[in-house]
Chain A
Amino acid sequence: MSTLSTLPTAQPGTDRILRRRRIRRTWGRPWLYLPLAGALLLMIAPFLWMLSGSFKPEADIRRVPPVLIPTAPTTANYGELFSTLDFTSMFANSVIVALAVTAGNLIFCSMLGYALAKLEFRGQRAVFLLVMGTLMIPGLVTFVPLYVLVSNMQLTGSMLGLILPFLAGPFGVFLMRQFISTLPDELIDAARVDGCRELAIFAKIILPLTKPALATLGIITFLGSWNNFLWPLVVAQNESQYTLPVGLALASSGQSFTRFGILLAGAVVVLLPVMIVFLLFQRQFVAGIATTGLK
């Protein structure tokens, strides 16, 4: 397995362990690469298929047996996607909704998170338990009344109806409270002694320190909103409000629309921004997900 020359020593057993350790530091366990690479291929096969399919001409899509690589790659699917479906406006809607929902959660959750983590007030425990208690409730429980409520507020025909119900989620409070709890109290005490006002302490001292948690919450909220589809599907009343997943879902469920090449191109367009966000903030994202549950 390894071709490292080793010095003869008195203890062959220990020697072998030490040599193994040297390889391990640079490579790990070489024999694991093959099965893991196989698993990786299985995991990303659907994505490769999607990418390949989005560049296939219609003749290739219908071919039996299918081809893995387009015979004559074409970008026609992408062109048609943006001309037949109003994909540009859907894209813009997705961005607007995701940004608004993310901004709302960052502001409101960090405010309440700080109050729960560092301030003493009557009813604190009750507020905390109430908010955390809703983490276990299935979305569908509130779905029906929420729909009635939003239509009573005459919001079903506007973007506000897609944004308002998601501006303040319990998960964000949990995450921000967890993080702010770990900041030292001395910071706050010192600021109080200096005569700093309570709200200024939060805005000027605590908030800048919560950047890692805000980044994590921001990414998670953005991804969640970007991929959210059931609510917009039910609430959106006309095509000018559709978000990307809604457009894609309606296009793929239509009996007449079996142009799979175009749908696969749509899937690529839905995935791309998310992938870019993930790759850019990968490190923070992974760290954030990991710390929420393990502290």
Chain B
Amino acid sequence: MTSMSTETLPGWGDTDKQSTAGPQRSAGRRRSPRRGMARGRQARAAWILAAPFLALFAAFMLLPLVWSLLMSLTDTSSADLRTPLNVSFIGFDNYVRLFQDDQFFTALRNTAVFVLVALPLTLAAGLAAAVALNSGIQRFRAVFRVGFYLPVITSIVAVAVVWKTLLEPRAGLVNLVLGWFGIDGPAWLADTRFALPVMIVMAVWRNLGTVMIIMLAGLQSVPQSLMEAAELDGAGPWQRFWRVTFPLLRPALLLTAVTTGIGYLQFFDEPFVMTDGGPLDSTLSATLYAYKQFGNGNYEMASAASYVIFVLIVALTVLQFRVLRDKD
């Protein structure tokens, strides 16, 4: 990154006549011959280009963000929200109340179980699918790719409708197939033992396609000659994978782990459309808890809960960077 422009005083700018020939770009940044006028023109153009985005961004992202934080520190239940400056600050009382609420702990526990089980499964399934497709399939590869990716692009509402009918205890496909093997399937979504595991399976099914696509791109970058050389040197498939492929996939794995992790901590869609957090709060997630507080008019609690989730997301992301980053 080049340093910002504090060192260019008027009249001094022309002294560093660096030739711009030769590829000396670092991350696509420019080091042009610096002329005050040209810089000024560039800066003006840049701000003109940036203005529309930044205006929308300020209104619909930054403002709500700050507002939400303030809201979590106030007692909005007594104030009229239409005049947001007319509220009384009560410090961290909402956060204290939040952590005294057993239901919030249930929600956090469900979310933790969901992330800890679904995240590794999704990454492993996506990676396995990508490796199998990349090395094992030449014909019909597009068919497999589309099939595995289809759940990703399907609206969660459509997914929910279909899975509800699949899981119908008596008229559903899942228990029909289990019946062929002599297994008497449970009432999946109405059973506290099975509702959350069903959603974990659903999440893996919905998201492994994303992991697979990114991993496939990573695998394409593994030079074929390297693999063939390793093979002729007598490395078995297992060794080839762990010694050659896996190290090269690390950045792609980190990317998918982080983005999937961020998504999974906000686990919301499935319980919202399928069980409303039930039965007996067994599928209540942290974000669904926040949403329900919002629905009940407890805006300050909803904001506090979503900020707790935000902190958890940052923590998980930092942790993943620590664990998965290149060791060198």
Which residues from chain A sit less than 8 Å from chain B, CB to CB?
Answer: 14, 17, 21, 24-29, 31-33, 35-36, 39-40, 43-47, 49-50, 53, 61-66, 68, 104, 107-109, 111-112, 114-125, 127, 130-131, 134, 136-149, 152, 164-165, 167-168, 170, 173, 180-183, 185-186, 188-189, 192, 198-199, 202, 223, 226-227, 229-230, 244-245, 248-249, 252-253, 260, 263-264, 266-268, 270-271, 274-275, 278-279, 282, 286-287, 289-291, 293-294
Contact = CB atoms under 8 A, between A and B. Distances in A.
B192 interface: no
Contact of A44 (B133, B150, B287, B317): B150
Q: Which 8 pairs show the lowest CB-CB distances between chains A and B?
A: A181-B28, A290-B217, A32-B136, A198-B45, A267-B158, A121-B43, A145-B64, A142-B64
B65 A134 contact: yes
Contacts of B280: none
Interface in B52-82: 52-54, 56-57, 59-65, 67-68, 71, 81-82
A29 B81 CA distance: 63
A174 B290 CA distance: 29
Contacts of B259: 293
Interface string B109-121: 0000000000000
A122 to B, nearest CB: 6
A26 B138 contact: yes
A261 to B, nearest CB: 9
A46 B214 contact: no
B236 to A, nearest CB: 13
B20 A189 contact: yes
Interface residues on B, range: 35 or more
Contacts of A253: 273
A33 B140 CA distance: 10
B50 interface: yes
B140 to A, nearest CB: 8
Contacts of B166: 46, 49
B146 A279 contact: yes
* Dominant secondary structure of chain A at its interface with chain B: helix
B137 A33 contact: yes
B240 interface: no
Contacts of B179: 65
B306 A138 contact: yes
A292 to B, nearest CB: 9
13 contacts: A26-B138, A39-B129, A49-B166, A119-B43, A143-B306, A146-B64, A167-B56, A168-B56, A245-B158, A253-B273, A263-B161, A286-B217, A293-B259
A185 to B, nearest CB: 5
Nearest to B8: A120
B136 A29 contact: yes
Contact of B32 (A111, A112, A189, A248): A189
B18 interface: no
Nearest to A168: B56
Given A117-B28, A120-B39, A125-B4, A141 B155 contact: no
A289 B45 CA distance: 30
Contact of B60 (A49, A53, A164, A192): A164
A140 B306 contact: yes
Interface stretch (B88-96, B99-107, B308-316): B308-316
B46 interface: yes
Nearest to B142: A282
Given A62-B171, A140-B266, A168-B56, 4 more contacts: A40-B143, A108-B56, A198-B42, A267-B161
A140 B150 CA distance: 26
Nearest to B24: A185
A212 B179 CA distance: 49
Contact of B155 (A123, A189, A229, A286): A229
Contacts of A202: 45, 49
